[in-house]
Amino acid sequence: MPVVAVVNPKGGVGKTTLATNLAGYFAASGHRVMLGDFDRQQSARHWLAQRPQAAPVIETWDASGESMRPPRGVTHVVLDTPAQFDARRFADLIRVADRILVPLQPSPFDLMATQTFLEQLALQFGKSRRFRDTVAIVGMRVDARTKSAEQLHRFIDGLAVPVVTCLRDTQNYVHLAAHGLTLFDVPLARVRKDRESWQPLVDWLGSR
């Protein structure tokens, strides 16, 4: 069972947007997927409450006070995590996650906070090569025409982890989220450019 955790201690970087759309991709692909919400705000859980019955099913898992062991009978799990984790739960997360996605927006504050977090994350893995095989960055709300995007790419060049894709700065995510939907619940023609930016990410997730 693939378990994908979306993690970054910096708030507002797009963790829930990434987690919900990833769950939507798995559901649209015919998998039995569960969206685990470890955030006390339960944003992903509230989003699921808005999801239309006709949309592919995404099951909910209120994991805020439980062990991180995924429930049985589910083929794919996506974990939406809070800005702060205690040491024990953070170690549990690393243990259960097959892949860890770190969303990152092109702002100086996000870059600095994420660099520190990646250094701490690497220490959790120790000398194991699993760090490079497990962890990847996803650029969020990236407009290639801006100076902040240039700064993001310079930051990326110095990292020891891959950047699997950069997602466009578009209102499609906001409009769809208001109705409990994802890019993968609407006709391709409506979100073609956005779906294209997801392909490198889903290829990376399926590469092992």
**Lowest-confidence range among 25-39, 50-64, 122-136, 148-162?**
148-162
Distance in angstroms (rounded) separating the CA atoms of residues 13 and 110? 7
| Predicted local distance difference test score (pLDDT) of residue 200 | 93
Burial class (CB in 10 A: 0-12, 13-18, 19+), 127: exposed
Degrees, nearest 5: CA angle 23-83-159: 80
Residue 206 located in a structural domain:
no
Residue 205 located in a structural domain:
no
Higher pLDDT, 174 or 131: 174
CATH code, 129: 3.40.50.300
Residue 208 located in a structural domain:
no
Residue 11 located in a structural domain:
yes
Instruction: Provide the residue count of the chain.
Output: 208
Domain count, the chain: 1
Distance in angstroms (rounded) separating the CA atoms of residues 61 and 139? 26
Residue 207 located in a structural domain:
no
CB of 113 closer than 8 Å to CB of 39: no
Expressed in percent and rounded to 5, the helix, strand and coil fractions of the chain are: 45, 20, 40
pLDDT tens for 152-192 read 777 777 777 888 888 988 999 999 999 999 999 999 999 99
pTM here is: 0.89
Query: Once rounded to an integer, what is the mean pLDDT over residues 140-155?
Result: 74
The order of strands in the sheet holding 99-104 is: 58-62, 33-37, 76-80, 3-6, 99-104, 135-142, 163-168
Residue 7 located in a structural domain:
yes
Residue 179 located in a structural domain:
yes
Tell me the percentage of the chain whose pLDDT exceeds 70. Answer: 89
Evaluate if residue 208 carries a pLDDT over 70: no
pLDDT tens for 30-46 read 999 999 877 677 788 88
Residue 42 located in a structural domain:
yes
Most confident of 84-93, 118-127, 133-142: 133-142
Q: How confident is the model at residue 111 (pLDDT cuts 50, 70, 90)?
A: confident
Q: Which domain holds residue 137?
A: 3-200
> What tokens were used for 119?
């250094």
